[in-house]
Amino acid sequence: VLVLLPLEAATGYLYILTKLIIDSFHIQSGEAPDLLNVITDPLTESIIQLDESVIRDIATGSLDAKNKSFIKKWCQTYTNITLKNMTVPGPENCTAPS
Protein backbone atom coordinates (compact mmCIF):
# COMPACT_ATOMS: atom_id res chain seq x y z
CA VAL A 1 0.00 0.00 0.00
CA LEU A 2 2.82 2.38 0.83
CA VAL A 3 4.31 1.88 -2.63
CA LEU A 4 1.29 1.30 -4.87
CA LEU A 5 -0.98 4.08 -3.56
CA PRO A 6 1.48 6.94 -4.16
CA LEU A 7 2.45 5.39 -7.52
CA GLU A 8 -1.20 5.26 -8.60
CA ALA A 9 -1.94 8.76 -7.29
CA ALA A 10 1.04 10.25 -9.12
CA THR A 11 0.96 8.38 -12.43
CA GLY A 12 -2.26 6.38 -12.81
CA TYR A 13 -0.03 3.41 -13.65
CA LEU A 14 -2.27 0.75 -12.04
CA TYR A 15 -5.34 2.01 -13.91
CA ILE A 16 -3.48 1.92 -17.22
CA LEU A 17 -2.02 -1.53 -16.50
CA THR A 18 -5.36 -3.08 -15.51
CA LYS A 19 -7.08 -1.47 -18.50
CA LEU A 20 -4.52 -3.06 -20.83
CA ILE A 21 -4.98 -6.45 -19.16
CA ILE A 22 -8.79 -6.30 -19.39
CA ASP A 23 -8.69 -5.07 -23.00
CA SER A 24 -6.48 -8.04 -23.92
CA PHE A 25 -9.33 -10.40 -22.96
CA HIS A 26 -11.50 -9.03 -25.83
CA ILE A 27 -14.67 -9.04 -23.73
CA GLN A 28 -17.78 -8.09 -25.72
CA SER A 29 -20.35 -5.73 -24.25
CA GLY A 30 -22.88 -7.61 -22.11
CA GLU A 31 -20.72 -10.72 -21.96
CA ALA A 32 -19.87 -12.00 -18.49
CA PRO A 33 -16.12 -12.56 -18.14
CA ASP A 34 -15.02 -15.91 -16.71
CA LEU A 35 -11.77 -14.71 -15.21
CA LEU A 36 -11.98 -16.38 -11.81
CA ASN A 37 -14.15 -19.32 -12.84
CA VAL A 38 -11.13 -21.07 -14.34
CA ILE A 39 -9.56 -21.17 -10.88
CA THR A 40 -12.59 -21.55 -8.63
CA ASP A 41 -14.79 -24.02 -10.54
CA PRO A 42 -12.64 -27.17 -10.13
CA LEU A 43 -12.15 -26.45 -6.43
CA THR A 44 -15.81 -25.65 -5.83
CA GLU A 45 -17.05 -28.73 -7.69
CA SER A 46 -14.83 -31.00 -5.60
CA ILE A 47 -16.42 -29.63 -2.42
CA ILE A 48 -20.04 -28.84 -3.27
CA GLN A 49 -22.31 -28.77 -6.30
CA LEU A 50 -25.30 -26.47 -6.55
CA ASP A 51 -28.54 -27.44 -8.25
CA GLU A 52 -28.73 -24.86 -11.02
CA SER A 53 -32.34 -25.77 -11.84
CA VAL A 54 -33.38 -24.55 -8.37
CA ILE A 55 -31.52 -21.27 -8.91
CA ARG A 56 -33.19 -20.88 -12.32
CA ASP A 57 -36.63 -21.65 -10.85
CA ILE A 58 -36.17 -19.06 -8.10
CA ALA A 59 -35.01 -16.48 -10.64
CA THR A 60 -38.10 -17.09 -12.77
CA GLY A 61 -40.38 -16.82 -9.74
CA SER A 62 -41.48 -20.45 -9.51
CA LEU A 63 -43.20 -21.15 -6.19
CA ASP A 64 -42.17 -24.83 -6.30
CA ALA A 65 -38.53 -23.87 -5.76
CA LYS A 66 -39.11 -22.30 -2.34
CA ASN A 67 -38.62 -25.51 -0.37
CA LYS A 68 -35.96 -27.12 -2.56
CA SER A 69 -32.31 -27.33 -1.57
CA PHE A 70 -29.62 -25.50 -3.52
CA ILE A 71 -27.18 -28.30 -2.75
CA LYS A 72 -27.10 -31.11 -5.28
CA LYS A 73 -24.00 -32.88 -3.95
CA TRP A 74 -21.48 -32.17 -1.23
CA CYS A 75 -18.21 -33.73 -0.39
CA GLN A 76 -18.33 -37.26 0.94
CA THR A 77 -17.66 -37.93 4.58
CA TYR A 78 -16.57 -41.18 6.15
CA THR A 79 -17.16 -42.59 9.63
CA ASN A 80 -14.06 -44.23 11.02
CA ILE A 81 -14.71 -46.92 13.65
CA THR A 82 -11.74 -48.22 15.60
CA LEU A 83 -12.11 -51.50 17.48
CA LYS A 84 -10.04 -52.14 20.60
CA ASN A 85 -9.44 -55.34 22.57
CA MET A 86 -9.68 -54.89 26.34
CA THR A 87 -9.29 -57.21 29.29
CA VAL A 88 -12.40 -57.14 31.48
CA PRO A 89 -12.07 -57.90 35.19
CA GLY A 90 -13.64 -61.07 36.54
CA PRO A 91 -17.38 -61.33 37.32
CA GLU A 92 -16.77 -60.58 41.02
CA ASN A 93 -15.75 -57.02 40.07
CA CYS A 94 -18.71 -56.46 37.73
CA THR A 95 -21.93 -54.87 38.79
CA ALA A 96 -25.19 -55.79 37.16
CA PRO A 97 -28.70 -54.54 37.76
CA SER A 98 -30.61 -56.85 40.09
How much is the pLDDT for 15?
A: 92
Average pLDDT over the chain, rounded to an integer: 79
Q: What is the number of structural domains in the chain?
A: 1
Query: Which residue range forms the structural domain that includes residue 65?
Result: 3-74
- Does 92 fall in a domain? no
- Does 84 fall in a domain? no
pLDDT category, 17, cuts 50, 70, 90? very high
48-73 residue pLDDT tens: 777 888 888 888 888 888 888 877 76
Residue by residue, DSSP assigns the chain as: -TTHHHHHHHH-HHHHHHHHHHHHT-PPTTPPP-TTHHHHHHHHHHHEEE-HHHHHHHHTT-GGGGGS-SEEEE------------PPPPGGG-----
Give the percent of the chain with pLDDT over 90: 8
For the entire predicted model, the pTM comes to 0.32
